[in-house]
Amino acid sequence: MGTISIEHGDRLFWLGRYAERVFSTLKALEDLYDNSIDSRPKCYTDFLAKFGLADTYGSAKIFFDSFIFDKENVNSVAASLERAYDNGIVLREEISTEALSFLQLAFDTLEKAQKSAKGLRLSLLPLEDILFGFWGCVSEYVYDYEIRTIIFCGKSVERLDLELRFKSDFGKVQHEFERLCRHLRNVPKNSPYRYNTGQLCRLVEILGSEEDYLKLSDKAITSLGKLFEAEKIPVGVNV
Amino acid sequence: MKTAELNKELYSSPVGNAEEINELLRRYGVKFGIYKNGIFKEQLFPFDPIPRIITHDDFTDMEKGLVQRVDALNKFLFDIYHDKNIIKDGVIPENFVYISSGYLPQCEGITPPNNIYSHISGIDLVQSKDGDWYILEDNLRIPSGASYPLIARELTRVASPAAFSSNSIVDNRNYAKLLKDTMDYSNCGGINAILTPGRYNAAYFEHSYLAELTNSVLVQNDELFVEDNVLYHKTYTGGKTKVGALYRRISDDYLDPLTFEPQSLIGIPNLMEAYRSGNVAIINAPGNGVADDKGIYYFVPKMIEYYLGEKPVLKNAPTYLPFYEEDKEYVLKNLDRLVIKDVAEAGGYGVIFGSELSDEKLENMRQTIINEPRRFIAQEVIDFLDLPILDDGRQVMRKADLRAFVLSGEQTKVWASGLTRFSRNPDSFVVNSSQGGGFKDTWVLSR
């Protein structure tokens, strides 16, 4: 390849984000579903609360149908998959036909799961396999290091964002943050995915200890959202 | 052995299960876009598992004829945009060239790298029942379709490996290499790029698939710019990379708003200046439309004799030009059994079968031809060989054509395969995908 345009760079980043969002949302919803089948039928309201959303669903069944299959629900697995596909379809020469085919397969599998008479989790299991296949394909077939770095930056930002919103265990958050830092080190200077030093320092401070993480995770989410904002360079400073 | 003498059983055996192969085609995103009532829809290009088979002998003859034809057409294009000897020598009437909508005065005097205008030529042929091949039309602008048989072969080999071990079939998966070699040969220094109008173009799958296979950069116009007569690709780090060959998949009219259609939003300002300066190869060259005009088609056999001093190997379908009085008289007299083609139309549109017209419509057509004789050509209806297809599991015979791909680089080469399109409608001769046609794999036997 050797040359990436701004448009394609942007799409690579968002492909990483949306493909990860599909997987992380799916996993979170599967756990939630498991909780809902016996102990806490209304536990899905906790999930809604983490995103600042009100319960307009009324029942777990309606909630799960909407958050998994409804493309009109912007937070659903189906909507994220559609966005991942929309980004992927214009990146065939960067990510390979092989990797793209896993997104098409994911679509078809989600449709089948919706019509399936099997239990929800059982019908969604093949979708997890396919998403693992997608990431395996990206790792195996995307030879251009810069392209891979951008996709994985997107993936890592998305995963960390969700871990922070779900207030996951500190160990998991720390692990994901370290992974993000490894990807960031490989981003070339002048790239839109070159980190904003101030925001990265802020994240290092907050995620440096469990105590700060528990107190300041909202601020960490804000810094993560601004991680790729251009640096403000004071007038008169030579760079 | 000739194709017409092939063993009937081999000729009508499906390769694998149609459903399985179509499922694989879906998985790999082999779709084409179509607008219906202003809404964009992606749909599968229906694949039929019974391949068209071309014997080694038939292909060898066809190959000679196609190389000869494309070489002559390239010489014609050079001549028309330079010395115009073919006009001066009275082989083609002057106004036939200049009246053609494909003739672009803006291309006068421009010499493309290595004098190649048509790098990728899509030549449409049909085979008659007696086994002869006839050229139906030449497509020298942006012929599409090679990617479909290319990926179909890849997938049928997965679905039915036995078919390939028990038959001697030339491997057609070298198309990407042929295309890359063609681009490299004309490249003026820099990367190879494929210019697409974008995701909602009917042939977007092809653009992206060929970019992947040839290791080219797939670009839209806003990712490119011209500076000091050099075409560059903007990179995400704020840099620029020189483009040496641009395989454009947009029409001439929209290529450069400063030279052609000023309202084009998908073109690149000053691209023609970069091209004129010899800093980028445009593949295929702008202005090729003058040579694949349906009216100019009539003269291609004469071009072959004029430029190459050879007899044409492949025949044109018997064609009449109402522009000539003698032909006009014949066409008006036999209108009810001829096929009339509007030279300005493409994609199967503007094709009228006289036998299907009512008396009133025939009369209207006669008047239109009298008023605008240059607008039409008329051809004899060739009784062409129908091919077997599977329709709901039942084998039926349908009309089919073959688009052969000829690539012009250091040498002119014919891809040992092609796009066989068929009509799904039993009463139709129209095979275009945009009008509901399907496609088959095309096997060329190696011995």
Read off the pLDDT of residues B135-194 as tens digits, 9 standing for 90 and up. Answer: 999 999 999 999 999 999 999 888 888 888 878 899 999 999 999 999 999 999 999 999
- Quote the number of domains for chain B: 2
Report the residue from B199, B222, B237 with minimal CB separation from A190. B237
Residue B149, helix vs strand vs coil: helix
B231 shares a domain with B156: yes
Contact A104 B28 (CB under 8 A): yes
B333 shares a domain with B299: no
B344 shares a domain with B282: no
- Rounded CA separation A3/B233 (Å): 8
pLDDT, tens digit, 9 for 90 and up, residues B289-303: 999 988 899 999 999
- Residue B424 pLDDT more than 70? yes
- Cβ contacts of B236 on chain A, cutoff 8 Å: 4-6, 8-10, 191-192
- Rounded CA separation A76/B222 (Å): 32
The residue of chain B with its CA nearest to that of A98 is B28
- Residue B43 pLDDT more than 90? no
- Residue B347 pLDDT more than 70? no
What is the pLDDT at residue B435? 66
Running DSSP on this structure, what letter comes out for residue B264?
-
Average pLDDT over residues B261-273: 96
Instruction: Note down the domain range covering B104.
Output: 3-313+383-444
Report the residue from B26, B204, B208 with minimal CB separation from A104. B26
pLDDT, tens digit, 9 for 90 and up, residues B58-77: 999 999 999 999 999 999 99
What is the pLDDT at residue B4? 66
Torsion of CA B253, B258, B263, B269, to 10 degrees: 90
Task: Return the closest-CA partner of residue B224 out of B200, B188, B196, B187.
Answer: B196
Residue B286's alpha-carbon distances to B72, B81, B106, B170, B265, in angstroms, are 17, 11, 9, 33, 18
Average pLDDT over residues B264-280: 97
Q: How many other CB atoms sit within 10 Å of the CB of residue B97?
A: 21
pTM reported for the whole predicted model: 0.87
Residue B374 is part of a domain; what is its CATH number? 3.30.1490.270
Report the residue from B209, B215, B234 with minimal CB separation from A5. B234
User: Which regions of chain A does DSSP assign to beta strands (E)?
Assistant: none
What is the enclosing helix (H) or strand (E) of A122?
Answer: helix A120-141
Torsion of CA B343, B284, B95, B375, to 10 degrees: 10
- Rounded CA separation B26/B47 (Å): 11
- Rounded CA separation B446/B55 (Å): 8
Report the residue from A7, A92, A191 with minimal CB separation from B237. A191
- Rounded CA separation B107/B130 (Å): 42
- Cβ contacts of A101 on chain B, cutoff 8 Å: 27-29
Contact A96 B236 (CB under 8 A): no
- Cβ contacts of B32 on chain A, cutoff 8 Å: none
B96 shares a domain with B66: yes
B340 shares a domain with B216: no
B361 shares a domain with B299: no
The residue of chain A with its CA nearest to that of B24 is A101
Q: Do residues B203 and B144 lie in contact, with contact meaning Cβ atoms separated by under 8 Å?
A: yes
B164 shares a domain with B36: yes
Q: Which residue has the tokens 């038959």?
A: B167
What is the pLDDT at residue B431? 73
B161 shares a domain with B79: yes
- Residue B33 pLDDT more than 90? no
Contact A5 B211 (CB under 8 A): no
Read out DSSP for B56-120? HHHHHHHHHHHHHHHHHHHHHHHHHTTT-HHHHTTSS-HHHHHTSTT--GGGTT---GGG-S-SE
- Cβ contacts of B204 on chain A, cutoff 8 Å: 89
Contact A92 B212 (CB under 8 A): yes
Report the residue from B29, B220, B223 with minimal CB separation from A100. B29
B216 shares a domain with B117: yes
Read out DSSP for B376-403? EEEEEPP-BPPEEEEETTEEEEE-EEEE
B407 shares a domain with B370: no
What is the pLDDT at residue B179? 98
pLDDT, tens digit, 9 for 90 and up, residues A66-120: 999 999 999 999 999 999 999 999 999 999 999 999 999 999 999 999 999 888 8
Contact B209 A92 (CB under 8 A): yes
Nearest chain B Cα distance for residue A218, angstroms: 31
Residue A220's alpha-carbon distances to A53, A214, A216, B209, B436, in angstroms, are 21, 10, 6, 41, 55
B389 shares a domain with B373: no
- Cβ contacts of A9 on chain B, cutoff 8 Å: 236
Percent of chain B with pLDDT over 90: 70
B326 shares a domain with B226: no
Q: How many CA atoms lie within 13 A of B372 on its CB side?
A: 13
Q: Alpha-carbon torsion B420, B426, B428, B429, what sign? A: positive
Q: Which of A130-139, B90-99, B255-264 has the lowest mean pLDDT?
A: B90-99
**What's the start-to-end Cα distance of chain A, in Å?**
29
What is the pLDDT at residue A239? 40
